[in-house]
Amino acid sequence: MRKITKHSERMTKKQEKKRKAIIEAAIETFAKKGFHRAKISEIAKQARVADGTVYLYFKNKDELLMKAFEHLFEDKLKSITTRVNQEDSPAARLDKFFDLHIELFTENPHIAKFMAVELRQSPEFYERYPDYWPLQGYLNFLQKLCDDAVEAGVIRPMKTQALTYIIFGTVDFFLTLWSIHRDTVSLEDLKKQAIDIIRYGTRIQS
């Protein structure tokens, strides 16, 4: 397969833009159709490139999916971590995390769908790409927030891994339901309840 940028080794602005267009078209299309029903031709069309061009930028469809996740986490979710870190107390950071995480998905429904659906690939997929688990960094960040909160005495001592999974799992399930049954679920409402329960469940004084 021919590669782009054989000489320069660095992509031009134009190419970066094209690559990004393909990835963003991919996220939208995967979100709408699901990985397997999404056609490369459809992604290419949406990105305004030829089918073949996709293969100049990505080895195959699998890689496109993985790079799309990578892009998401670098581009969008990293900004969450930045903004969370601006809060000055551990408790405020945890709250902020909830807010921003849900805000991101509320404002970009197709990203929510993409995450909810495409994170779950078959066990075989994960076997084929053992290093592929795009959530790890994000979960680590969340767990760090929890650890800090314990350290600071804001929440009672506990194994924070479970708490991390409760928080992420809860939000993930909300978003899954919401992306399937948009109308019958009020995210804002649920969020309040969930924060409340988790806050009660983790605070020092019983």
Partner DNA sequence: AGATTGACTGAATTGTAATTCAGCTATATA
Partner DNA sequence: TATATAGCTGAATTACAATTCAGTCAATCT
Q: Hey, how many other C-beta atoms are within 10 angstroms of the C-beta on 131?
A: 7
Instruction: Please identify, among the stretches 7-15, 102-110, 151-159, 164-172, the one whose residues bind DNA according to the rule CB under 7 A.
Output: 7-15
Could you say whether residue 14 binds a second copy (CB under 8 A)?
no
First to last CA, the chain: 63
* Contacting DNA within 10-69 (CB under 7 A): 12, 14-15, 18, 37-41, 49-53, 55-56, 60-62
| Burial tier of 167 (Cβ tally within 10 Å: 0-12, 13-18, 19+) | buried
Cα separation, 30 vs 61, whole angstroms = 11
Instruction: Please identify, among the stretches 3-11, 46-54, 59-67, 194-202, the one whose residues bind a second copy according to the rule CB under 8 A.
Output: 194-202
Of 8, 86, 122, 205, which one interacts with DNA (CB under 7 A)?
8
Per-residue mark of binding to a second copy, 147-186 (x: CB under 8 A):
-----------xx-xxx-xx-xxxxxxx-xx-xxx-----
Cα separation, 59 vs 55, whole angstroms = 6
Per-residue b/e over 138-166, b at no fewer than 16 CB within 10 Å?
Answer: beebbbebbbbbbeeebbeeeebeebbeb
Could you say whether residue 125 binds a second copy (CB under 8 A)?
yes
Could you say whether residue 31 binds a second copy (CB under 8 A)?
yes
Nearer to DNA, 65 or 149 (CB): 65
Of 32, 45, 50, 138, which one interacts with a second copy (CB under 8 A)?
32
Could you tell me the maximum CA-CA distance found in the chain, to the nearest angstrom? Answer: 65
Cα separation, 127 vs 140, whole angstroms = 22
Number of residues that make up the chain: 206
In the complex, the residues that contact a second copy under the rule CB under 8 A are 31-37, 113, 116-117, 120-126, 133, 158-159, 161-163, 165-166, 168-174, 176-177, 179-181, 189-190, 193-194, 196-203, 205-206
In the complex, the residues that contact DNA under the rule CB under 7 A are 1-8, 12, 14-15, 18, 37-41, 49-53, 55-56, 60-62
